[in-house]
Amino acid sequence: MSNIDNQFQNLDDIPALKELSDETAAACSGGVTLVAFNKRGFEGFKKQFIQNGNKLDIGFVGGSINNKISSFRVSGGNSSLYKVTLFDGRNFQGQRESFYVRRGKAKRFVGDFINDRTSSIRVRPV
């Protein structure tokens, strides 16, 4: 998948998703929100993804944080528990790892397997 990633590294986010710099704005919208960080422990560069309802489909995380995600936080929506799947490839392809995260909680480190590989993300209510 690394060849594909490199080929499209300059493409921007898919238009259906909004990237907001202000987390408060996301919380007010009510939709499920995932904030991804490029270092473990919620440090470093961060990028926020938000979608209405309880589902989040990020076909490509965007060139700035592609293959760099190490920790994330989930908030918003109506479900108390979410399944977050991180995919190595774009459009939910390739190797993956899933995490069960309660709303408002976070994954301090995604683990060595998927660390610095994530190119797409899917969030589902449980």
Contacting positions for Ca ion (CB under 5 A): 67, 88, 117, 119
Angle at the Cα of 89 (from 32 to 115), degrees rounded to 5?
75
Q: Which amino acid is at 26?
A: A
C-alpha–C-alpha distance, residues 54 and 40, integer Å: 25
Q: Which amino acid is at 23?
A: E
Q: Between 79 and 87, whose beta carbon lies closer to Ca ion?
A: 87
| Cα atoms found within 13 Å of the Cα of residue 37, Cβ hemisphere only | 16
Nearest to 98 by CA among 121, 119, 81: 121
